[in-house]
Amino acid sequence: MFKNITLKSIKFYQAFISPSLGGNCRFYPTCSEYTYKTIGKDGVLIGTWKGLKRILKCHPWNEGGVDLP
């Protein structure tokens, strides 16, 4: 149940919040899609932790690129 709520929250973010921020993600897949996939694969706790680590890599000194879950 908590997993469903978390995944729906990410989809809400992708549909309504992310478009207003612009397409500036330096990674593929985007951080929200990466987190969505890792939560689906590894569960809420581990998936959220992996997603947070990915988001923390998003800064001007990291080139980004392909980073698959």
Strands (E), the chain: 27-28, 65-66
- Concatenating the DSSP letter of every residue in 16-49 gives IIHHHH-S---EES-HHHHHHHHHHHH-HHHHHH
> 25 with 65: CB under 8 angstroms?
no
- The tens place of each residue's pLDDT in the chain, 69 residues long, gives 889 999 999 999 999 998 888 777 888 999 999 999 999 999 999 999 999 999 998 888 888 888 877
Residues of the domain holding 51: 1-66
Look up tokens 């478009």; give the residue.
19
pTM of the model: 0.86
Instruction: Look at residue 28 and give its three-state secondary structure.
Output: strand
Residue 53 is predicted with a pLDDT of: 94
State the total domains in the chain. 1
